[in-house]
Structure 1
């Protein structure tokens, strides 16, 4: 078997086209996942992985066109990583933008009472909440002053002072 090194590393699609395609797909997927779908996930489940795989597969052709070489894949991946870094930097530098890009903590429990309306916003069941509370070694809601779902999906618990 003879490897054709020039075919593996040659660029057959315009690098600018790869950057534009990568940029367009990144912005579209960013808006879908961070702005439209604001669901915060505490842990990644099988359905979440399935959605990511399907989205990645569906986005591949729109993003990549007919690229064939490793070099073109490097350009495309670098474009996506650069946009991700830029958005993170922008949300750090421009605090008003942070409220759009990263949801504020959502109150789930106040003075030992579950806030059902906020639970419904996140499609979180009582059993899921209680499971997360057990991770904090809490078995009774009366121990809790406040509990929040953070933007990364983690639950923060503030216990009542004894």
Structure 2
């Protein structure tokens, strides 16, 4: 590519209305937020291979809906700015308002109480006995009977409180 064939104006001019880009970005942001918040399961402290693959494919599919026929760098900048805006606003609003925070973050879920598995809660998040036992071992606890409380936290991490009151 020679310098004479470089078309700077086509890189720096809008090919799609900025308002359309912001609307597309807003719609896709909220659609993906709802999918991730309410449809996908929280994993037990890790992102599995199928989850990672799903996120990559979802991102590729969402890109077409967001960018439409836009092709310039400035179009991409407006779209990225819109996504950053919504991400920041959700964090800010969640910090300021408890009601918004309850909407944006899943509540913690008790999986074990006094050494007993809470199977209904495990089924709700599709957590198997093997996954749960592996997580308990990772926390340095040998036996489920030693667990007073075990929670699946909003971020997918596990917290374990042993019967003796110590955090694992």
Normalised to the residue count of structure 2, the TM-score between the two structures is: 0.90
Partner of residue 96, structure 2: 93
> Structure 1 residue 59: deviation in Å?
1.4
> Structure 1 residue 9: deviation in Å?
2.4
Partner of residue 27, structure 2: 24
Matching of residues 16-55 of structure 1 within 5 Å: 16-34=19-37, 36-37=38-39, 39-41=41-43, 42-55=45-58
8 Å CA contact 1:38–1:103 kept in 2: the answer is no
Match of 2:160, SS?
strand
Match of 2:70, SS?
coil
Q: Which moved more, 1:40-49 or 1:3-12?
A: 3-12
Which residue, 68, 78, 82 being the options, matches 2:81?
78
Q: Does 1:131 align with 2:129?
A: no
> Structure 1 residue 8: deviation in Å?
2.2
Which residue, 9, 14, 30 being the options, matches 1:11?
14
Partner of residue 69, structure 1: 72
Separation (CA, whole Å) in 1 of partners of 2:96 and 2:42: 23
Separation (CA, whole Å) in 2 of partners of 1:72 and 1:82: 15
Query: What value does the CA root-mean-square deviation take over the aligned residues?
Result: 1.4
Separation (CA, whole Å) in 2 of partners of 1:139 and 1:77: 47
Separation (CA, whole Å) in 1 of partners of 2:94 and 2:103: 9
Separation (CA, whole Å) in 1 of partners of 2:126 and 2:96: 31
Partner of residue 121, structure 1: 124
Normalised to the residue count of structure 1, the TM-score between the two structures is: 0.93
- How many aligned positions are there? 161
Moved over 4 A (4+): none
Separation (CA, whole Å) in 1 of partners of 2:16 and 2:157: 42
> Structure 1 residue 97: deviation in Å?
2.5
Separation (CA, whole Å) in 2 of partners of 1:107 and 1:85: 30
Separation (CA, whole Å) in 1 of partners of 2:85 and 2:115: 44
> Structure 1 residue 100: deviation in Å?
2.2
Separation (CA, whole Å) in 1 of partners of 2:33 and 2:164: 41
